[in-house]
Amino acid sequence: MATHATVEAHDTNDEFNPFLSQQEGFNTAADHLGLEGGVRDVLSMPDRELTVNVPVLMDDGSVQVFTGYRVQHNTLRGPSKGGIRFSPDVNLDEVRALAAWMTWKCSVVNVPFGGGKGGVICDPRSMSIGEQERLTRRYTAAILDIIGPDRDVPAPDMNTNDQTMAWIMDTYSMHERKTTTAVVTGKPLSIGGSRGRREATGRGVMISANEALKMVGLRPEDTRVVVQGAGNVGGLGAMLLHREGYKIISISDMYGAINNERGLDMPAVLSHLKTNRTLEGYGEAEYVPKGEGQLEQECELLVPAATENQITSANCDRIKARLIVEGANGPTTAIASKALSERGVTIVPDILANAGGVTVSYFEWVQDRMGYFWTEEIVNSRLEQIMVQAFQEVRQTSEKHRVDLRTAAYILSIDRVASVYRMRGLFS
């Protein structure tokens, strides 16, 4: 019997280890495909993992050293693609899992990228803009040898944004001695960003919800929605769902949730959030500190769009939604996902539902490389075309293999990458 290679993960019995959760999804799909041992080993392991220690001059004159990571999971279909997050909770297992999920995400929507991910262990809320810039530039310099338009293309993620990407692009360009806009995506429009990129992940969530409603026989106007997260994915996704006629009855940020059974006025909610930087104080809703019980509210559609490990074995039996569209990466643990599917809850998995961001990142990369930029209408139209096609392909795979949508998405994406591996062959 063949012995499959593995990547060591910490807390190997921990439900909340995202790398192990990703591996379980991979292995389930690989079993359905009958994936041969050698190919399974190649696709389950990252191509490269880089750990860097980044010294930064702080505003008070001291020097602080931050640990950062960049993981490139797979480059068979094209350059690595994936965000960079700044958070105290960043760890290597998380970055590994997110890099792998990016491989499957790019494959499921059939864009020519592989998966990558980066992160730095820091608390940007306690850092000045100057400290964040120096950290970003020094981290970029540390990973410079493995990134580039044809190697690995970073993007914004948790606690990073278009300004962060501008610093990365400038640092890379200074070392290359030429302006290289295609090294990152999610940039400001003035330096090669794409129209529609900021809303892209939320728009992908909305498109996925529309397609999923057709599956379960619901209409937007009859659909109450609970959204966890109020950033570019949750907040903008909720706004787009609101425009489609859905009734948003709850939304949360990192501090708490606001609830209104009659439906929230999302333009007013986001205006309040922009002004006050918190949902607290919004007058037309009940405020719940820490958002306790939000995910367990009565609703037809639940959109977890904050962070991973929010729906777990501890609360999945209290989830009342008929449909879950995963806006965040890994918001549902493998144990919870299986339990919910057995109860008949339809889950549109993260590697499909939140692929709008990487799809428009691909558009941005293409536009940068050809020096010609599209209108927002063209970007949104092409995004919808790709997302709808991907959803239908996942649904067809689900029906063919008689599996849930998550397993189907893995089957579709893994099969595409495995086919490329077999076609290219093994260099030796």
Q: Does residue 42 carry a pLDDT above 50?
A: yes
Specify the number of domains making up the chain.
2
Give the list of residues 6+ apart from residue 372 with CB closer than 8 angstroms, or none.
Answer: none
Q: pLDDT band at residue 9, thresholds of 50, 70 and 90?
A: low
Whether 228 and 135 map to the same domain: the answer is no
Q: Which of 329, 353, 377 is the last residue of a domain?
A: 353
How far from the centroid of its chain's Cα atoms is residue 124's Cα? 20
Has residue 217 got a pLDDT over 60?
yes
Only one residue has tokens 């690595």, namely: 80
> Quick check: pTM over 0.85?
yes
In a domain, 389, yes or no: no
pLDDT of 13 higher than 60? no
Does residue 346 share a domain with residue 313? yes
- Pair 163, 99 in one domain: yes
Tell me the HSE value of 157 on the side-chain side, using a 13 A CA sphere: 24
Distance CA 252, CA 234 (A): 9
Mean pLDDT on 218-234: 96
Domain assignment present for residue 87? The answer is: yes
**Can you give the pLDDT at residue 422?**
94
Residues 226, 147, single domain; the answer is no
Residue 7 above 80 pLDDT?
no
Is it the case that residue 1 has pLDDT exceeding 50? no
Residue 424 lies in a domain: no
Whether residue 258 lies inside any domain: the answer is yes
Residue 207 and residue 347 share a domain: yes
Question: Are 133 and 242 part of one and the same domain?
Answer: no
Active site (annotated) includes residue 117? yes
CA distance 360 to 357: 5
Given a cut of 90, whether residue 426 has pLDDT beyond it is no
Tell me, yes or no, whether 101 and 130 share the same domain: yes
Is residue 363 pLDDT above 80, yes or no?
yes
Whole-number percent of the chain with pLDDT over 70:
97
**382 part of a folded domain:** no
Residue 375 has pLDDT above 60, yes or no: yes
Q: 129 with 208, same domain?
A: no
- 153 in a domain, yes or no? yes
Q: Which of 117, 187, 247, 338 is catalytic?
A: 117
Q: Tokens for 404, please give them.
A: 């849930």
82 and 162 co-located in one domain? yes
Report pLDDT for 5. 43
Read off the amino acid at residue 118: G
Q: Which of 120, 152, 180 is the last residue of a domain?
A: 180
Q: What is the pLDDT of residue 2?
A: 38
For residue 381, being part of any structural domain is answered with: no
Question: Which structural domain, as residue segments, surrounds residue 170?
Answer: 47-180
CB 192 within 8 A of CB 165: no
**pLDDT tens-digit series, residues 241-295:** 999 999 999 999 999 999 999 999 999 999 999 999 999 999 999 999 999 999 9
Q: Is residue 218 assigned to a domain?
A: yes
Q: In this predicted structure, which of 35-44, 214-223, 398-407 has the lowest mean pLDDT? A: 35-44
Looking at the structure, tell me whether residues 174 and 235 fall in a common domain. Answer: no
302, 328, 353 - which closes a domain: 353
Site of tokens 């990547």: 7
- Express each pLDDT in 81-131 by its tens digit: 999 999 999 999 999 999 999 999 999 999 999 999 999 999 999 999 999
pLDDT at 349 over 80: yes
For the CA atoms of 231, 237, 240, 244, the dihedral, rounded to the nearest 10 degrees, stands at -150
Query: What are 149-159's pLDDT values in tens digits?
Result: 999 999 999 89
Average pLDDT over the chain, rounded to whole?
95
CATH number of the domain that 252 lies in? Answer: 3.40.50.720
pLDDT at 3 over 90: no
* 72 and 136 within one domain: yes
User: Do residue 336 and residue 222 come from a single domain?
Assistant: yes
Strand partners, 51: 69
Domain of 65, CATH number, reads 3.40.50.10860
Nearest-10 crossing angle of helices 376-401, 356-370: 130
pLDDT at residue 416 is higher than 80 = yes
- 158-188 confidence digits (pLDDT tens): 899 999 999 999 999 999 999 999 999 999 9
